[in-house]
A and B are shown apart, each in its own frame.
Chain A
Amino acid sequence: MGCGAMMKSVMEVLLLLMLIFTAHAKEKSYSPPEKPTQTRCRSPEKETFTCWWEPGSDGGLPTTYALYYCKENSETVYECPDYHTAGENSCFFNKNDTSIWVNYNISVVATNALGRAFSDPVDIDVVYIVEPNPPEKLTVAVMEDKGWPFLLVSWEPPHKADTRSGWITLIYELRVRLEEEDDWEMHHAGQQKMFNIFSLRSGGKYLVEVRCKPDHGFWSEWSSTSYVNVPDYFHREKSMWILVALFSAFIFLILTWLLHMNSHSLKHCILPPVPGPKIKGFDKQLLKNGNSDEIFSALVVPNFPPASTSKYEEMLVEYLEVYVPEEPELMLESKDLLDGCLKSENSRSDSDSGRGSCDSHTLLMDKCGGTKEEERQTNRESSLMETQGWKEEAINHDTSGRVKTWPSVYSPLPQYGSNPLDKQSSLETAKQHSLSTSSFLTQPGTEDALGPSYTDFCLSNKQNHLHPQMLAHRELQTRSDVNISNIGRKRSPASEYVEVQRVNKEDMVLLQPVVSRCGHIEGCPNLPKGEDYSKVKGVDCDNRLLLQREGTGEDVCPCVDQETNGEGGNCYTSSTVSTTQKPTACMYTAMPLQGETALTLNGYVDSATMGNMPSC
C-alpha cells in the first residue's frame, strides 16, 4: 500500500465516524459536502508551490477542507502545512516541504457534519508546474535614432526567481499597442532583459507589457502596464514633404513660364514651318495686288536679254533679216505670206523669243526650205515654197507675248564656241555658213569649224536649185550683214526673216527662212499653223536645252515630199508645229545627209538641233 492507500483508510475511518454522527443528527436537509475539485498547483520558482482547490457544495453545513499529501517513496501522509498564505482553498508548500523530482500525491477532503468528500488525487512533480511571477520594474523610454523614435524597454525578472544561479532560466515576451488600438504587437525577447521597439508608426500614448516563462514551464501573467508618450516625430516629416511639394510646384511653374516664353521658337524647332515657294525678285504682294505686269516685269532681269548689240553672241538670233532685192515680188509675196502668217512681233519686247523651237512654224518652214538662208534662196529660186525669204525669226512666234525662257541661251555654249566670237564674227560665220551652202552642195562633206550651214540639209534637196542658190548666196551674203545686225530689232516689214532652225552638232545655227504659216507656199503647203514651239526634252549637262525630237520622219510636209525626192532625208513634218510635231525629226533625218552642223550666231539654238546635240 502506498501513500494513497493509507490516506484512503484514514478517510474511511473518519467517514464512519461522520456517518455515525449524522445518523444521530436531527433531520435537516443537510447533506455531506460535495467532492471538492483540485484546480491547480503552481510553483513560482521551483522552490515552493501552492495548490488550489474548488470546493463543492457544502451541504448546508459548515464544511472544512483538508489537504493531504504524500510523497512518492514514503507512506507518510502529510497534511498541508499552510492553508492561509496562498489564500482561501489553497495549500502552500514552503521550501522545506518542497522536494523536486519527487512525485506528490495530493488529495483534498471536504468535511462537514454529515460527511466528507474526497477529491480526486493528483500526482504532481514540482518541476513540471513552474509558473513564474510576472517580470518586475518594467521601464519604457523614448529614444531617437536618426530622427526616428523608438522605445527602449527594460525589466527585471520576478524577484523570487533565481536566475542568477541558473536554477531557473527565464525567457521573456513583451507586447505593445497604442492606447486607442485593440491589437497588441508581440515581441519575443529571449533571455535578454531589455528590448528595442522600432515599429512605432505614429506619436501618441503607448502601452507596454512583459511576461516570462521558464524553459519548461508555463507563461507568467502579464506585468503591469507601462505607459509612454511618444511625441509626434512624424508630423515633422509631413511638413518636410509639404515643403518639398511646394518647392517642386514652384519649379514647375517656372518651367511652364519658360516654356511659354519660348513656345514660338520651340514650335519652330519641333514643327518647322513648311517653306513656301520663293522666286527671287518675285513679290507676292504685287501678285496679290493684281498687277501682273509689274510682277513679271520684276521677274525680268534688267538688261537681260541684252538689248544692246554687244551681247549678240550670247543671244539667240531672233531673226535675220534677209533682203533679197532681186526678187522683190517674191519677197513681197513671201513677205505677204510672212506678214500673214507670221506671228505678231509683240514678242519683240522679249529678245529671247525662244526662236528655234521645234514647234515654230518657221522651223518647219526651214525644214522645208533647208537653212534659212539657203531655203530662202532655194525657195525663191526653185519655188515659192523654197524662197520664203528671210522670215521673221521664230522669235515672233510668240505673238501672245509669251515669255520664252531660253536658259541655255544665256549660258555660254562652249560647243558653239560662240563666246570668243564677237557678234560680227559669228555673223561672219553665219554668212559663211550660208555661203557654204553652195560649197556644201558641191562638197557635201565640207564642214567648217562652225559646221556647215544649217541650210545644208535643205540645200541637199535643192541641188537642182544650185544656181539659184548661188545667187541667193550672194544675196544672202549681202543681206546677212544687214540683217544680222537687225537681230533683236523689230522686224522691218520690208525684210524677210530667217529663223534659226537648229543648231547642228558642230555648233552651227542653221537658219531657215521664216516660212509662212499658211503653208500654201509651194513646197511646204502644209506648214503647221500651230505653235512654233518644241517640246523641251531637257537640259543637258552643258546647260543646253534639249528639245524633243518627236515622231519619225514619216510625217513630212509636202515640201518635204518634194524634197525627199532628192536625198530623201528631208523630213519635215509639216503636219504640225505644235509640240507634238516632228519637225526636228524631219530635220534630223535630213541633216545626216549633209552632216549635222549648227551654226550658232548668238547661242540661239534651235530646239530641233538641241535634241541632237551630243549629250555630255
Chain B
Amino acid sequence: MALKETDSSKLLMAVVCLVSVCSSVPISDLLDRASQGSDKLHALSTTITQDLNSHFPPIGRMIMPRPSMCHTSSLQTPSDKQQALQVSESDLLSLARSLLQAWSDPLLVLSASANTLHHPEQTSISNKIQELQLHSKSLGDGLDILSGKMGPAAQNISLLPFSGRNDIGQDRISQLINFNFLLSCFRRDSHKIDSFLKVLRCRATKTQPQMC
C-alpha cells in the first residue's frame, strides 16, 4: 500500500515538475513504478482467491458462471504473445487504463459483500479487498499521468459498464459463488494490466536491457 502511495505521490510530483518546467521523471521510471503497482495488485487478488478457495463449497465450482460473463469480456485484448507485442504502446496503456477503470465500481461491490461474506477467512478477505481498492486507485492515478506522456491514443478509455450486480446473492452459497466469480474476473484483468505494463516497461528501457 505504501508502495502505491509513494507511487502516486511520485507521479504527482512528476506532474508538478512538468508544470513548473522541471526536469520530468523519465517514462521508464514511471512505467517501472506502475508495473510494480500492478504486480502488487495482481498478487493481492491471487491471495484473496486462495483464501476463498480454501473453504469453498464444491458445489459452487459446479455452478459458477463462466468467465466470459465478466463485464470486461467485451474489451478486445490480445490473446497471445504475438498479438500483444504487436499492439502499440498507447493502445496497451489505453487497454490497461480501461480495464482498471472498469473495476473501480465493482471493487466497491466486492468490498461491500466481503463484509457480509460467510466464510472462515472473511476478515482477511475483507482487509485485502480494502487494500485492493487503495492500490487500484493509486495505480489508476499513476496511469493517468503516464497516459499524458504517451500520446493522445493513450487517453482513450473504453467504458466497460458494470451491470450493477449489487445483489450478490441472498443465500450464502450464491453469495459466495458470485463473490468468487467477480474476484476471478478481477484477477484475470489485473493480470492483463500487469502484463501490458511490463511489456511497456521493457519497451521503454531499451537502454537498460537488464531490466527486462
Q: A residues near B, CB below 8 A? A: 2, 46-47, 72-73, 95, 98-103, 125, 127, 162-167, 169, 191-193, 215-216
Contact = CB atoms under 8 A, between A and B. Distances in A.
B188 A101 contact: yes
B85 interface: yes
Interface string B192-210: 1011001111110000011
Interface in B51-109: 66-68, 77, 79-82, 84-85
Contacts of A215: 39, 194, 198
B88 to A, nearest CB: 14
Contact of A99 (B39, B80, B195): B80
Given A47-B81, A95-B80, A163-B212, 17 more contacts: A46-B81, A47-B80, A72-B67, A100-B80, A101-B192, A127-B191, A164-B202, A164-B209, A164-B212, A165-B81, A165-B203, A166-B200, A166-B203, A192-B210, A215-B39, A216-B191, A216-B194
Task: Identify whether the interface residues of B are mostly helix, strand, loop, or mixed.
Answer: helix
Contacts of B80: 47, 95, 98-100
Nearest to A47: B81
Chief secondary structure at chain A's binding surface = loop
A167 B68 contact: no
B81 A167 contact: yes
B190 to A, nearest CB: 10
Nearest to B46: A216
A191 B211 contact: yes
A101 B77 contact: yes
- Among B80, B85, B191, B201, residue most surrounded by chain A Cβ atoms (within 10 Å): B80
B43 interface: yes
B191 A101 contact: yes
A38 to B, nearest CB: 15
Given A47-B80, A100-B79, A165 B202 contact: yes
B42 interface: yes
Contacts of B68: 72-73, 103
Highest count of chain B CB atoms <10 Å: which of A73, A98, A164, A165:
A165
Contacts of B192: 101
A73 B79 CA distance: 13
A103 B201 CA distance: 27
Given A165-B202, A216-B42, A216-B43, A193 B210 contact: yes
Given A127-B191, A169-B198, A215-B194, A162 B77 contact: no
B212 A166 contact: yes
Nearest to B198: A166
B202 A166 contact: yes
Interface in B28-42: 39, 42
B64 to A, nearest CB: 9
Contacts of B77: 101
Nearest to A194: B210
Interface string B167-194: 0000000000000000000001001101
A193 B209 CA distance: 11
A164 B209 CA distance: 7
Nearest to A105: B66
Contact of A166 (B39, B43, B199): B199
Nearest to A166: B202
B36 to A, nearest CB: 10
Nearest to B199: A166
A165 B39 contact: no
A256 B68 CA distance: 93
A162 B81 CA distance: 10
B42 to A, nearest CB: 6
A165 B66 contact: no
Given A191-B211, A192-B210, A101 B79 contact: yes
Contact of A165 (B46, B188, B191, B199): B199
A192 B81 CA distance: 23
5 contacts: A98-B80, A99-B80, A103-B66, A165-B202, A166-B201
Contact of B66 (A2, A100, A169): A2
A103 B68 CA distance: 9
A165 to B, nearest CB: 6
Contacts of B212: 163-166, 169
A162 B202 CA distance: 11
B53 to A, nearest CB: 12
A215 B190 CA distance: 13
Contacts of B198: 166, 169, 215
A192 B211 CA distance: 8
Given A47-B80, A216-B191, A103 B199 contact: no
Contacts of A162: 81
A307 B171 CA distance: 145
A592 B180 CA distance: 135
B109 to A, nearest CB: 22
Nearest to B204: A166
Given A101-B191, A216-B42, A167 B199 contact: yes
A169 B39 CA distance: 11
Most-contacted residue by chain A among B39, B194, B202 (CB, 10 A): B202
Nearest to B85: A165
B188 A125 contact: yes
B162 to A, nearest CB: 19
A166 B43 CA distance: 18
Nearest to B82: A95
A101 B198 CA distance: 16
Nearest to B77: A101
Contacts of B42: 216
Given A72-B67, A101-B191, A167 B46 contact: no
A72 B46 contact: no
